[in-house]
Structure 1
Amino acid sequence: MGKAIEHVFTEAWHGLCTFHIMQNATKHLPSNRNSETNLLTEFSSCMYDHGDKVKFEEAFDAMRKKVQKQTWLDSIYKVREKWAECYMRNVFTLGMRSTQLSESLNNDLKIHLKSSVDIIQFFNHFERVVKGKSDNELKSEYESREKLPRIKMRSPMLLQASKIYTPVIFECFQTEYERSTAACTKVLDGNYQFAVAIGTLSDDPIFEEEYNVIGNISTETASCSCGQFERIGILCAHALKVLDLMNIKLLPPHYILKRWTREARYGTIQDCRGRNIIENPKLAAILRYKVLSHKFVNLATEAANSEECCILIENTLDSFSKQVKGRMNACQSNHDAECDEQMILEAPKEHLRAARLKKKPV
């Protein structure tokens, strides 16, 4: 599959699921709880922690020397560019390193499926699983549009990001912003070139690896060697620190990806055939339901203390119900008529001619 992807999807990158790699590591690497070094921990560090290729090679060689049978380690090392952090610096992964969505769907299906289940039962269960996931997605999007996340520091950039990003993405951005406040900088040669290291907020701070950041005031950019924005689409703490040093207090528009915002589903996009895909119509219905239900609840709360007001509301609702049903039936009839007319317009001319002849009296 990897070789086919290189030829067919020339601009795509094929990676390996880190979850399955760790499952295989558990099977093939010996584990000794009494030992000071844990091979699984070392392998996990090689996968996630080493951003430099030289350090990765040194750590992997040190780990291999501790294993007598190196068959699995040798095979996984040959495809290291598909799972090691240092080889994925320029890959736009959006932070995903495993087949999370696929595995969760497979797991939901496997829980209730047995060899005795027939094809009808399978599709019934499959439809329930898909509907449940669609409902959860719709609920998450509704909450992301209607609820504001919790802001820990009331800075202009965080206030801006809280209104733009979805709650989950904002939490990630806010974490990077907090880390930037603990960053130390060292001026390098050139205008607005810095070496930035993030420290821990403690009495004895420990600093992470330094990264070089190049800032530009005219374009309001801060390019960091860690490459987090290029991989995930969220600015890193190093770049945020340099933006602050350049007195840029709001997040520049070119650092806001639409896919991470509350407006991600607004507008139209095109599918593989060039057809426009509109926003989910169910979401608009839920928003209208939310507004109406809020008004009805407030009105019922006020009228509950008066029997006369309750009778007035009941009579009014009965009258409104008839009007709403009539309007809905009329809309449905108009819709059906439009569909029938469209079908007639699209029918071949000979069929129309035949239909006219049948209507003529004998």
Structure 2
Amino acid sequence: MQSSTVRDNESYNPYMKMPLGIEKHASIVYTITIFYQVQEEICASCFKCMVLRVREDGGMLHYDIMDGKNKIFSVVHNVNDHEATCSCKIFEMVGLFCRHIFVVFRDLEKIPLKYVVNRWPKDASLKATFEIDGVIYDQNGPKDEKKML
């Protein structure tokens, strides 16, 4: 059993449950806490979701996916642009992929970077926190008192 100190350590390499490149990429990109949530969705996409139907319409793939609770969700996948939306709207609410989108992205080696929301990656605290009148203030950077005023 892992201690919480080891588990919360950002340099800790988590155990991969699936032989998928997208899971490995998630472990590199996301904080350890967020990674475990993403890993749960990846595993659920493999073991709890079933594709009921796929149809093509104008270059878009439309999936009907049933999850472990016998609910059906619709995923629209633009294969050329690596874009997907799901009727569950978890990505829009939380900023992380749901298991339904991982079903269609399972073969990707990496999560498309346009879907890595700024608040979840390991380097999130290194990014600018806000901007006022064109001046970017970094919570980790040196403070210029004149600019702050």
TM range (shorter): 0.7 to 0.9
Query: How big is the alpha-carbon RMSD for the aligned residues of Structure 1 and Structure 2?
Result: 2.3
Runs (5+) with no aligned partner, structure 1: 1-138, 200-206, 282-362
Q: Deviations over 1:12-39 (max 9, x none)?
A: xxxxxxxxxxxxxxxxxxxxxxxxxxxx
Does structure 2 retain, via aligned residues, the 8 Å contact 1:221–1:243? no
Tell me which stretches of 4 or more aligned residues in structure 1 moved more than 6 Å: none
Match of 1:190 in 2: 56
Does structure 1 retain, via aligned residues, the 8 Å contact 2:25–2:109? no
Name the CA distance, whole Å, in 1 between partners of 2:117 and 2:79: 21
Displacement of 1:143 in angstroms is 3.0
Q: Does residue 265 of the first structure (1) align with residue 125 of the second (2)?
A: yes
Displacement of 1:267 in angstroms is 3.8
Match of 2:23 in 1: 158
Whichever structure has more strand as a proportion of its residues is 2
Displacement of 1:273 in angstroms is 5.6
Runs (5+) with no aligned partner, structure 2: 142-149
Displacement of 1:249 in angstroms is 3.4
Match of 1:178 in 2: 43
Match of 1:248 in 2: 108
Displacement of 1:189 in angstroms is 3.9
Higher mean C-alpha displacement, 256-265 vs 269-278:
269-278
Q: Deviations over 1:264-320 (max 9, x none)?
A: 022434345654323426xxxxxxxxxxxxxxxxxxxxxxxxxxxxxxxxxxxxxxx
Q: 1:148 to 1:213 in 2, by over 3 A?
A: same
**Residue 33 (structure 2) aligned to one of 160, 168, 190:** 168
Q: Larger RCO: Structure 1 or Structure 2 (Cα < 8 Å, ≥ 6 residues apart)?
A: 2
Does structure 1 retain, via aligned residues, the 8 Å contact 2:128–2:139? yes
**Residue 136 (structure 2) aligned to one of 241, 265, 276:** 276
Identity of aligned residues (%): 24
Q: 1:236 to 1:167 in 2, by over 3 A?
A: same
Name the CA distance, whole Å, in 1 between partners of 2:109 and 2:9: 28
> Aligned pairs, how many?
131
Name the CA distance, whole Å, in 1 between partners of 2:96 and 2:128: 24
Displacement of 1:190 in angstroms is 2.6
Q: 1:270 to 1:152 in 2, by over 3 A?
A: same
- Tell me the SS of whatever aligns to 2:75: strand
